[in-house]
Structure 1
Amino acid sequence: MRPRDENKELLIRQKAIEMIVTDGLDGFSINKLAKAATVSPATIYIYYKDKDDLITRLCIGVASKMLEYSFEDFSPEMDFAEGLKVQWVNRMKYFINFPIEMEFIEIMRYTHYYEEVNKMLTVSFGSALGPFMERGIQKKQLVPLPFEVYWSIAFAPLYQLMKHHHQGNSYVNNKFELTEGIMMQTLELVLKALKP
């Protein structure tokens, strides 16, 4: 059995993410990946059991990195507005630094490969965002809402702005760039909507 090479494994992961974003899952195969990463298919099987294992582990890896960014400098003890701002700034930073990974996770979100990520997110969000929401409600900084409604109001506007930024335009403007000013203006509106 050949030894693992971290640089080779990183290259395989990067090429796989790029290929899935560019060609979709239907256009993705181990043979095409091997050619793109200039390795043999056998090399890929040193690191991954099969194509499904590779894609599942890619999903978990990208989502874990995104979570790590999202919760940097965040504490469930924070006041609601401050904690939500920290998460928005972190998510925007992740998106700006890793646009391909962000696009990859959006593609994967609606596939069976995302099931393991959902399990991980349930634990992470339950332990961090559950207490954060409860504290916000207790301090009368957040209107009581089901988590799904909260999530839709709290984060969907940011993700939509990120999509417009990535596309470089919006439905009415030929050019759009997500700036910190636009992000903060939108966050203020979201906070108003979530206050009791």
Structure 2
Amino acid sequence: MRTRDENKEQAIRQKAIKMIVDEGFDGLSMQKLAKAAGVSPATIYIYFKDRDDLILQLWIGEMKKMVDAVLKNFDPDASFEEGMRVQWMNRARFLVENPMSMHFMEQVKYSPYHNVSLTKIDSHFKEVMGKFVQNAIRRKELMKLPFEVYWSVAFAPLYQLVKTHISGRGLHGSPEKFELDEKTMNLTLKLVIKALKP
């Protein structure tokens, strides 16, 4: 059995994510990926069972990185406002520093891989976020909402700001370059928290 090489595995992962972001899932073939990563097609199968396993393992790896970033200095017992501030800063930093990861995870979200990927979300992350939300509801800092409504109000504005920042263009064809700064993020977060209060 051939040994695993961490550098080769990382090259395969990075090239596969880029290929999926640039060309979609249909543009990912093991042959093309091997060439792009500078390895033989057989090398890919040392690390991944097949194409579907590769895509799922990529998602698990990128999600783990994001979870680690989001949980940095995050306390589920903090006030809702403070906990949201830490999450927003952590999420924004990770997404701005890893735009390829963000685009890849978005593509998975709207693909047949989404349902399988949901079963792989870190249970610790779900527990921490669940505790944070329940604490905020109990303290009457957050109204009780269906999860999808909560998430859409709590985080979709941040994700849209990050996407606009990464594109470098304002909305509606504005010639001015849009940059997400702390002032804009704090203003938006203030509006989000106001909207979520009971």
State the TM-score, normalizing by the size of structure 1.
0.95
1:32 partner amino acid: K
Q: How many Å apart are 1:17 and its aligned residue?
A: 0.6
2:111 partner amino acid: T
**Which is worse superposed, 7-16 or 174-183?**
174-183
Identity %: 53
Q: Partners of 2:149 and 2:164 in 1: how far apart?
A: 22
Q: Partners of 1:119 and 1:59 in 2: how far apart?
A: 12
1:169 partner amino acid: R
Q: Partners of 1:102 and 1:192 in 2: how far apart?
A: 27
Q: 1:158 aligns to what? A: 158
* TM-superposition CA deviations, 1:4-33 (whole Å, max 9, x none): 101110111011111111111111100000
Q: 1:185 aligns to what? A: 187
Q: 2:120 aligns to what? A: 120
Q: Are 2:145 and 1:145 equivalent residues in the alignment?
A: yes
2:19 partner amino acid: M
Q: How many Å apart are 1:121 and its aligned residue?
A: 3.2
Q: Partners of 1:163 and 1:124 in 2: how far apart?
A: 27
**Which is worse superposed, 21-30 or 166-175?**
166-175
Q: How many Å apart are 1:63 and its aligned residue?
A: 1.0
Q: Which runs of 5+ in 1 are unaligned?
A: none
Contact 2:67 / 2:125 at 8 angstroms: preserved in 1? no
> How many corresponding residue pairs?
196
Q: Partners of 1:151 and 1:125 in 2: how far apart?
A: 15
1:55 partner amino acid: I
Q: 1:81 aligns to what? A: 81
Q: Partners of 1:27 and 1:65 in 2: how far apart?
A: 25
Q: Secondary structure at the match of 2:25?
A: coil
Q: How many Å apart are 1:154 and its aligned residue?
A: 0.3
Cα pair distance change 1:124/1:147, threshold 3 Å: farther
Q: 1:136 aligns to what? A: 136
Q: How many Å apart are 1:122 and its aligned residue?
A: 7.5
Q: Secondary structure at the match of 1:63?
A: helix
**Which is worse superposed, 171-180 or 156-165?**
171-180
Q: 2:14 aligns to what? A: 14
Q: Partners of 1:120 and 1:26 in 2: how far apart?
A: 23
Contact 1:63 / 1:117 at 8 angstroms: preserved in 2? no
* TM-superposition CA deviations, 1:104-160 (whole Å, max 9, x none): 111111122233331233734531122211111111111221222111100000011
Q: 1:50 aligns to what? A: 50
Q: Which runs of 5+ in 2 are unaligned?
A: none
After the TM superposition, list the runs of 4 or more consecutive aligned residues in structure 1 that deviate by more than 4 angstroms.
Answer: none
Root-mean-square deviation (CA, aligned residues, Å) is 1.4
